[in-house]
Amino acid sequence: MFTLQFFVIAGNMAHKVLTSREKNDKERFAKKVGAIMQEARLKAGLTQEELADKADFHRTYIGFIEQGVYSPNLYTLSKLAKALRVKLSDLLKKID
């Protein structure tokens, strides 16, 4: 069976229009990543502002990640892992 997929053109990029199930999965994933990042930050004894300074991000961005508003890409996760002095692979294992 074939699945009909819709794409939205935004600038030069085509973005797939997500189904409601995909949106829910994406939201759950972002919240899980956020909880893991918050746990790692607290374990490191850092405030959101301190982590943001060490990783060169704005404090509100760290808050949005922890709340599950934003889902960080691998590059961002690697910068956060370095700032937290943990292995990126350890963070990724927890996400899986």
Q: How would you class 73 by CB atoms within 10 Å of its CB: exposed for 0-12, middle for 13-18, buried for 19 or more?
A: exposed
Average pLDDT of 45-66?
A: 98
Give pLDDT, residue 3.
Answer: 53
Whether the full predicted model's pTM is greater than 0.85, yes or no, is: no
What are the extents of the domains in the chain?
Answer: 25-95
- Amino acid found at 34: G
**Class of the domain covering 25-95:** mainly alpha
d(CA 1, CA 8): 23
Q: Which long-range contacts (CB under 8 A, 24 or more apart) does 16-25 make?
A: none
Q: What is the pLDDT of residue 95?
A: 86
